[in-house]
């Protein structure tokens, strides 16, 4: 059998679409301060930020099972239309409830793009290359969070308000329509079945809710979902609330913190691709949480802004090690017919964390300040490391014979 390579047109195209979609998400890193500028309380701003993820979470739970390779182009087109309309709406809408509706539509639009992309990604990944595949794919997911904060700060003097950046990133998605049309056709010709290569009658969409629930309640599956949700709770809280922390501590150019952090994360995932396939995934995840906890501890102690970029590098190491082994583990512990469904449940857990992070973080900051937020983050990361060690989903992985 010919050895499959990841560096093909289909895989790289899916990475490009993911990058473009998440540029629109990462552009909102200053949305918390913008909403406060409009006169909303910190708690209201945190809710509006999280409402996007709450919407996507509900859709991943109830709608992702219906997305297939066959309907992916329709889903992507519909999603892009929604995202572009929302980009225009941000220019004019300043009412709390109307902004809530825009955030709901924005979450639905990005869901349609990302869920369709994930269905096709799962269809083309060789089982023996999951660690490297998710490592490279996660680079596409990280790049927007590295680029957009710095770009937004560079553009800020030239635009009246950040909503113009939100619109600009939504327009970047338009080329994805043509890209998705091309790769959908190419992937379908390579599969024995148009619905991701599985018997249609055994696909998650055709199974009853009890079967899907039993799949999700399997110990290795639910444990990975919980830890993934914790990771993104911490990640999103840091991303959306850091600028306020930086203003309080007198730190200039807060966007550079994320450029440095993401730069380290991307480097780890480019250079360490094979590590994620060879080193124990349990150990990698535990190290990731412990180092991330240390990063929050350093933020708590920092008084000299000169240390902010080294601390960003610490976060880059910690957070850079976590996502590829978690996604790879989910692929490996999942029954083949549930791999696409469970991959979208991982996306659901991401959006759950992205809702809880800024929402709960805003409440903690309002109640006790940024120091209380950082202390809570330390305890959560350490608790996640202990929980993952206790549950150890890696012992449920079945060996895969590598075909060269």
Instruction: Give percent above pLDDT 90 in the chain.
Output: 25
CB 57 within 8 A of CB 348: yes
| Residues in Cβ contact with 310 at an 8 Å cutoff, skipping those fewer than 6 apart | none
| Phi, then psi, of 6 in degrees rounded to 5 | -80, -25
Q: The domain that contains 161 carries what CATH number?
A: 1.20.1250.20
> Could you give the CA distance from residue 343 to residue 134 in angstroms, rounded to a whole number?
11
Angle at 290 between CA 57 and CA 221, to 5 degrees: 40
What mean pLDDT comes out for the span 308-313? 91
Q: Does residue 20 lie in a domain region?
A: yes
User: Which of 82-96, 118-132, 300-314 has the least mean pLDDT?
Assistant: 118-132
Q: Does residue 1 lie in a domain region?
A: no
> Could you give the CA distance from residue 48 to residue 52 in angstroms, rounded to a whole number?
7
Distances (CA, A) of 358 to 42, 173, 352, 362, 366: 10, 25, 11, 6, 12
pLDDT in tens, 62-99: 887 788 878 888 898 899 999 999 999 999 999 999 99
> Could you give the CA distance from residue 168 to residue 318 in angstroms, rounded to a whole number?
31
| DSSP H helical ranges for 250-338 | 255-271, 275-278, 281-301, 308-320, 323-333
pLDDT above 80 for 198: no
**Structural domain total, the chain:** 1
> Could you give the CA distance from residue 292 to residue 320 in angstroms, rounded to a whole number?
10
pLDDT in tens, 238-268: 888 888 888 888 887 777 888 888 888 888 8
Helix, strand, or coil (residue 371) = helix
> Could you give the CA distance from residue 103 to residue 316 in angstroms, rounded to a whole number?
29
Q: Does residue 401 lie in a domain region?
A: no
Q: Does residue 400 lie in a domain region?
A: no
Integer-rounded Cα radius of gyration of the chain: 20
Q: Does residue 402 lie in a domain region?
A: no
Q: In which domain, by residue range, is 240 found?
A: 9-394
Q: Does residue 300 lie in a domain region?
A: yes
> Could you give the CA distance from residue 228 to residue 232 in angstroms, rounded to a whole number?
6
Nearest to 142 by CA among 57, 253, 260: 260
Helix, strand, or coil (residue 280) = coil
pLDDT in tens, 129-183: 766 777 778 788 878 887 888 888 788 788 888 899 999 999 999 888 888 777 7
Q: Does residue 403 lie in a domain region?
A: no
Q: Does residue 140 lie in a domain region?
A: yes
């Amino acid at each position: 059998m010919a050895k499959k390579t990841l560096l093909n047109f289909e895989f790289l195209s899916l990475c490009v679409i993911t990058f473009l979609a998440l540029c629109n998400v990462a552009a909102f890193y200053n949305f918390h301060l913008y909403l406060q500028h409009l006169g909303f309380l910190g708690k209201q701003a945190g809710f509006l930020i999280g409402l996007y993820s709450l919407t996507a979470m509900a859709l991943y739970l109830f709608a992702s099972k219906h997305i297939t390779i066959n309907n992916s182009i329709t889903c992507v087109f519909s999603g892009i239309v929604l995202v572009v309309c929302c980009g225009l709406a941000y220019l004019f809408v300043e009412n709390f409830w109307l902004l809530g509706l825009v955030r709901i539509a924005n979450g639905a639009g990005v869901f349609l793009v990302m869920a369709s992309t994930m269905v096709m990604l799962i269809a083309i990944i060789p089982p023996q290359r999951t660690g490297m595949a998710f490592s490279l794919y996660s680079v596409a997911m990280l790049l927007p969070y590295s680029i957009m904060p710095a770009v937004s700060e560079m553009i800020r003097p030239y635009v009246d308000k950040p909503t113009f950046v939100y619109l600009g990133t939504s327009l970047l998605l338009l080329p994805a329509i043509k890209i998705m049309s091309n790769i959908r056709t190419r992937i379908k010709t390579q599969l024995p079945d148009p619905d991701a290569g599985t018997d249609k009658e055994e696909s998650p969409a055709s199974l009853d809710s009890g079967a899907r629930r039993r799949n999700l309640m399997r110990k290795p599956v639910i444990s990975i979902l919980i830890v993934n949700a914790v990771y993104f709770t911490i990640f999103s809280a840091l991303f959306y609330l850091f600028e306020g922390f930086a203003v309080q501590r007198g730190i200039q150019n807060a966007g550079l913190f994320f450029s440095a952090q993401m730069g380290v994360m991307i480097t780890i995932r480019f250079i360490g691709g094979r590590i994620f396939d060879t080193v124990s995934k349990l150990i990698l995840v535990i190290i990731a949480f412990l180092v991330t906890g240390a990063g929050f501890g350093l933020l708590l102690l920092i008084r000299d802004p000169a240390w902010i970029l080294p601390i960003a590098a610490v976060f880059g190491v910690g957070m850079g090690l976590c996502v590829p082994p978690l996604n790879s583990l989910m692929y490996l512990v999942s029954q083949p017919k549930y791999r696409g469904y469970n991959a979208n449940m991982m996306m659901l857990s991401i959006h759950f964390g992205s809702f809880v992070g800024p929402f709960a973080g805003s409440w903690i900051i309002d109640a006790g300040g940024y120091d209380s937020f950082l202390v809570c983050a330390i305890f959560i990361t350490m608790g996640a490391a202990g929980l993952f060690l206790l549950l150890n989903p890696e012992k449920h992985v079945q060996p895969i014979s590598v075909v060269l």
